[in-house]
Structure 1
Amino acid sequence: MRNRYLDLLRFLAIIRVVVYHVTGWATLTLVFPAMSVMFALAGSLMAASLDRSGPSAVGRRLRRLLPSLWVVAAIFVPAMLLAGGLPVSWRLALWLFPITDPPANGWGALALSVIWYLRDYLWFVLVSPAALWLFRRAPLPTLLTPYVLLVVVELGFPGAPVVLRDFGLYFGAWLLGFAHHDGMLRRLSRRVLVAVAGLLATAGGAWILTHPGARGYDLNDIRIGNALWAAAFILIALGFAPSGAAWVDRNALLGRAVTVFNRRALTVYLWHMPFVVALTPLVDVVGWSHQDLLGLAIRVVLVFLLVGVVTMLVGWVEDVAARRPPELLPGRRRTRTPGPVVVPSPRTAAAETRVAAATEATSSAGATPVRVS
């Protein structure tokens, strides 16, 4: 049975990502480090899949991950080729299996910039069987490795490949998902959990304040601070996670929204950025600015509406990839079809009458009733 608390976290993370990309508010990255939370949740689910299915879970996870990307590629790659600026080469195959960033032209690189998440997710899935094996034999050294890697790369090799840098930034969150699945966070005393989270948050906050990026205190520009701050957030969010959150479904609208966003997470994530980019010219045409709260609110609503339309059109691909019956909009409660009414035959009815009569007579005589098989 799904843990609705984890579903709620993913729902909030996706909402935060979309709102951040529309508004550009750096504060949102501090209040809710959504990408690290999404990787932590994915790591927990990956560990569960490996326990259930073994190494074959890798193939199953890729089967659920890639088709939504292929839909995007089937639309945007031809568009970029026709628009120009995208050379035809073998690198186009990366749109089928993005172990590194697939090629794009100028506007495509911006509209499809969120592909990095699938690139990192793909790598994390591929290394998960070995990583889980190591984690369960040496939890702390394995967990510390990506953070040490991040510090070494950021301070000593700033030109390192982006995949390597992202391993340091986000794979620690993925491993914290392993710890959540294995119950390690739950077994820690609350005092220890809060103390460790407080230490990480203090170190991360100090780094953020003393190393502002190009956009100020936006965590996306401050990798070491991002990793430490997000780790503290995940420890609290998952370390104190309840076994469930039944209250989510007590409100029909909220429960349906959480279900839809979880079943269509990839579709929403992949398609929101093209609409953010497409609506950006409205800032100049209408005269809105990033300080215009009404204008920003309208853009957020428009992006969600457009994503909703696309989700209705192609979101069912996620159902097919997960081998679920395809649905236009997930979460609809199915009414059970009543089974056929069985009418007992006269012989069966007569037998039941004789048994009942015998039982009643025996009971009235004070004897123990005889079982009838």
Structure 2
Amino acid sequence: MTTATQTRDTTIDAVRAVAVAGVVLGHWLVSAVVSDPHDTSALHGESPLQHASYLAPASWLFQTLGLFFFASGFAATRRSPSPGKHRRRLVVPVLILAAVWLPAIAALRAVGAPDSTRHVVVSLVTHPLWFLAAYLVLTAAAPALKRLVGRAGAPAVLAPLLLVAITDAARDGGLPGWWRLAMVPVAWSVPYLLGIALADGRLSRRDGPLLAAAGLAGGALLLTVGGYPSSAVGVPGDRFSNLDPPSLAAMSLAMLQIGGYLMLRHRLENTARRAVATLNRTALTVFLWHQTALLLVTFAGLAAGRPPGLLDEPDGAWVLHRIAWLPVAAIVLTALTWVFHRYERRTR
């Protein structure tokens, strides 16, 4: 059985890096900020998946939150007990983000920016915080979750999976707001528990094919027979969002990804590179500021009117144009990460 005293697992670092990269690229590809042709300062958000449903399979590729929580559960088990220090590592970057954006949003109001513009800015900046809140809840519950895995092993995930299934069955009747919020950490506890099980030696490579097959078969049935939305992320007009709160389809995707990781883990042991280690050190900063990078590029584009892939309607060849903007957003994100990660370290 593995213990917390063992060396750092570079394959988990690789999983976390892939998860963060998937979230960033996924958000950049589905977060269309559209300007009004008659008033370029009036912005609103749209999803390209509304105009191009054939892109839905790509959303399953970039929806990597299951891997993120899986790596987090593993790290919580291996991490030495220092809850105060860990909380500071999380809280300080969020406070810095708030210190920058609260005055900026107030300034938008002061200069008379349209309500739709302020709404899209607030939505893009705060959206990642919902998942960080779920992470904080699971981190606080980690001792209890470790004891649960210690008694039941990997099958401990059956309890939260049952609650997710009950929630899915009740969606059409409308879910109370408090239930939707509570189910976010409950659902993401499924990959989190699997991460704990791996760190505790209760999950191994031989479980990979079973998890992957269950995830693939379950997801296929839910999409084709169960009538679940074809997109892994929320799309206006869909019956519901697979992430609000996370559905059985989202759990199936997480199990497929984790199963794939377990099968490939032995091949990843010697392939973690410096870039992976660097991204892991700055993962939270990247996660918090990636939408800010997109907004800065978008605001700069206002000077050119409605550049394709940046401020125009997300239809036609929009996705190809947006891909061309990704390197620009990546450069801006790199600069933001360099500035704010250094400041976070000094503040801590």
What's the offset of the Cα at 1:82?
A: 3.6
Gaps of 5+ in 1: 86-103, 249-254, 324-373
TM-score normalised per structure 2 = 0.74
What's the counterpart of residue 117 of structure 1? 131
Alignment match, 1:5: 11
Q: Please give the residue correspondences for 1:137-286 in structure 2 after superposition, counting only pairs within 5 Å.
A: 137-140=151-154, 142-156=156-170, 158-161=175-178, 162-186=180-204, 190=206, 193-209=208-224, 210-213=226-229, 216-219=230-233, 221-222=241-242, 223-238=247-262, 240-242=264-266, 245-248=269-272, 255-280=273-298, 282=301, 285-286=306-307
1:279 Cα shift?
Answer: 3.7
Unaligned runs of 5+ in 2: 1-6, 31-54, 111-117, 235-240
Quote the residue 1:68 is aligned against. 93
Q: Could you list the per-position Cα deviations for residues 312-357 of structure 1 after superposition, in whole angstroms to 9, with x for gaps in the alignment?
A: 1111245457x7xxxxxxxxxxxxxxxxxxxxxxxxxxxxxxxxxx
Code of the residue aligned with 2:168 in structure 1: it is E
Of residues 256-265 and 231-240 in structure 1, the stretch that sits farther from structure 2 once superposed is 231-240
Would the alpha carbon gap of residues 320 and 83 (structure 1) be closer, same or farther in structure 2, given more than 3 Å must change? same
Which runs of structure 2 are paired with 1:333-372 in the superposition (5 Å)?
A: none
Quote the Cα distance in structure 2 between the aligned partners of 1:224 and 1:110.
25
What is the identity percentage for the equivalent residue pairs of Structure 1 and Structure 2? Answer: 22
SS in 2 for 1:315: helix
Contact 2:67/2:258, CA 8 A, preserved across alignment? yes
1: CA distance, partners of 2:23 / 2:198: 23
1:278 Cα deviation (Å)? 4.3
The answer to whether 1:299 aligns with 2:320 is: no
Match of 2:266, SS state, is coil
Counterpart amino acid of residue 298 in structure 1: A
Amino acid of the structure 1 residue aligned with 2:22:
R
Larger Rg: 1
Q: Which of 72, 93, 118 is 1:42 aligned to?
A: 72
Q: Secondary structure at the match of 1:201?
A: helix
Q: CA deviation at 1:72?
A: 0.2
Q: Which residue of 2 aligns with 1:59?
A: 84
- Kept after mapping to 1: 8 A contact 2:215/2:255: yes
Cα distance, 1:38 vs structure 2: 0.6
Identify which of structures 1 and 2 has the higher relative contact order when contacts are C-alpha pairs closer than 8 Å and 6+ apart: 2
Q: 1:309 aligns with which of 321, 325, 335?
A: 335
Stretch of structure 1 that moved more, 199-208 or 230-239: 230-239
